[in-house]
């Protein structure tokens, strides 16, 4: 299995490709990272150094990968945070070229826009770009609840509203939608859920909400593991959902226990390949 991952990167910590690549590799997926930014650390620290690559620079790297004859063998293209609107066109061009070389290849888009608490943290125009250009081209998309609301213009205050918003998103292109950080199912806020929907149905998995400092990159890792699991032979959406929920819970629980300021992805790597705790996946419809 091979994936082309076009995302941001950080030298310190785990975000973008720096969070997504290792979990895919741990699942046995060869991953070719193309970085859209090179930052010292993620922007949540308030101060960072580095650069946003020009769209042509990103395109040149992708062209060079294509020149190695890789495109016909790619199983998927993965994209996440985009530092500039022009990057979207580069990504969509790469997706088109990969699918021309291998029509079975998937495009998995993590529509990184923001989250509850922080609000929107991407540049102006990125949210609209995700809504109008990226989502219609994706086979799989993984918004959090906050991003789902922005992408659909719908307030998600109930399970019924959440499923209606997912249906609206699927109608615009993606056949598989994974919604992370779902909080509407538990008014007590003691748990957190993920909801996945495809043609076979809608599924939910719920895990305890861990008392810990917020760490970056969990969404990037979740998306990469979900894609990696779906690429595995015989793995369907509910199976992938169960594995990913258990893996990300294990990573975050290890991070909580160590008190680390960044996700302990490498130290907790065994729960990526073989999560010891399986959470129950329920069918919603």
What DSSP string describes 28-93? T-EEEEEEEEEESS-GGGS---EEEPPHHHHHHHHHHHHHTT-GGG--EEEE---SSHHHHHHHHH
pLDDT given at position 116: 81
- For 216-246, how does the pLDDT look when each residue is reduced to its tens digit (9 = 90+)? 889 999 999 999 999 997 789 999 999 999 9
**All residues at 6 or more sequence positions from 249 whose CB lies less than 8 Å from its CB, including other chains:** 207, 208, 210, 275, 277, 279
User: Has residue 211 got a pLDDT over 90?
Assistant: no
- For 253-267, how does the pLDDT look when each residue is reduced to its tens digit (9 = 90+)? 999 999 998 999 999
Q: How far is CA 236 from the centre of its chain?
A: 17
- For 95-152, how does the pLDDT look when each residue is reduced to its tens digit (9 = 90+)? 999 999 999 999 999 999 988 877 778 888 888 999 999 999 999 999 999 999 999 9
């Amino acid at each position: 299995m091979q994936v082309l991952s076009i995302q941001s990167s950080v030298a310190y910590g785990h975000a973008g490709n720096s969070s997504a690549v290792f979990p895919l590799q741990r699942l046995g997926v060869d991953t070719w990272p193309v970085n859209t930014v090179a930052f010292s650390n993620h922007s949540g620290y308030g101060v960072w150094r580095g650069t946003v690559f020009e769209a042509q620079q990103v395109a040149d790297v992708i062209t060079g990968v294509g020149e190695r004859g890789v495109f016909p063998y790619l199983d998927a293209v993965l994209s996440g945070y985009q530092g500039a609107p022009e990057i979207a066109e580069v990504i969509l061009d790469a997706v088109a070229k990969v699918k021309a070389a291998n029509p079975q290849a998937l495009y998995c888009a993590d529509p990184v826009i923001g989250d509850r608490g922080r609000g929107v943290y991407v540049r102006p125009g990125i949210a609209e770009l995700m809504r109008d250009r990226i989502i219609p081209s994706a086979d799989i998309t993984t918004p959090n609840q906050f991003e789902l609301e922005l992408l659909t213009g719908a307030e998600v205050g109930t399970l019924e509203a959440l499923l209606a918003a997912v249906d609206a998103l699927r109608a615009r292109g993606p056949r598989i939608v994974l919604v992370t950080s779902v909080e509407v199912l538990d008014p007590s806020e003691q748990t957190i859920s993920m909801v996945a929907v495809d043609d076979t149905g809608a599924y939910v998995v719920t895990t305890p909400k861990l008392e810990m400092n917020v760490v970056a990159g969990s969404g990037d890792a979740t998306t990469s593991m979900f894609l990696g699991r779906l690429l595995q032979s015989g793995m369907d959406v509910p199976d992938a959902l169960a594995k990913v929920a258990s893996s990300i819970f294990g990573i975050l629980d290890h991070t909580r226990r160590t008190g680390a300021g960044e996700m302990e992805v490498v130290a907790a790597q065994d729960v990526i390949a073989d999560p010891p705790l399986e959470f129950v996946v329920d069918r919603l419809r």
